Amino acid sequence: MMSADRVSAWHPVARSADVRPGANIVAGFAQAQELALWRSADGAPQAWENRCPHRSVRFTLGQVVENRLSCAYHGWQYAAGSGQCMSIPAHPDMPPPRNLCAQVFSAVDAAGMLWVNLAGETAHAPPQDGIVPGGWSFCRTLTVRADAASVRTALARRGFSASAAATAAWHGLLGESGAVALLLDAQPQLAFVHLWTDAAPGTAAMKTLHIAARDLRTDIEERRQPQKAA
């Protein structure tokens, strides 16, 4: 059974700017689910299981063809939005099987991030741009070798508070600058923290923030919660 956290949570998987319309495919994770992130030609965000349903080859090895994702192995093409197989190049006159679909998850852009909900049609209301104040800058993404619970504990210890608008968003001060930490629970012992700040790029305040971010990661990894015995 899918956990309540998996059903309700929107996960900030990647920066919106890093996924370009009709162009690249970005690999990502959310709660151990491997994802292929891409955009159709009109810019609509897509988050799919990173596995072609034909031979299980990773979609991230393929390419975007306008509004379709093409697998690298046999070139089978799947439609944006539905994940329905639309084309089999080796058999152009054969209609693709109607039940052959990629697994598609809900995806939205908000606050400079591409967010994914693994629950599909039961997804709660998506996050809004106001989670990150207007005019704030992206600082960096911290890769933390610890579970998400340890990251939340460390942020709370440093005075950050969880946002009521999105369970993954935490607001506080870091390196004497305002910061929003967008927490991604990627894998059981791997988390990512996307940091946004009111410090201007290239300033001493931004440099101090980078140092504080590294200290935060060290603190989390040294105090991380031990794994529960099986």
pLDDT band at 230; cut points 50, 70, 90: very low
What distances in angstroms separate CA 139 from CA 7, 82, 168, 194, 203, one per listed residue? 29, 34, 17, 8, 12
Q: What is the pLDDT of residue 165?
A: 67
**In order of start, what are the domains of the chain with their CATH numbers?**
4-122 (2.102.10.10), 129-223 (3.30.310)
pLDDT per residue as tens digits for the range 157-190: 999 999 876 779 999 999 999 999 999 999 999 9
Local confidence band at 229 (pLDDT 50, 70, 90 cut-offs) = very low
Mean pLDDT for the chain overall = 89
Task: State the pTM of this model.
Answer: 0.89
Maximum Cα–Cα distance for the chain, whole Å?
64
Distance separating alpha carbons of residues 230 and 220, to the nearest angstrom? 23
73: part of which helix (H) or strand (E)?
none
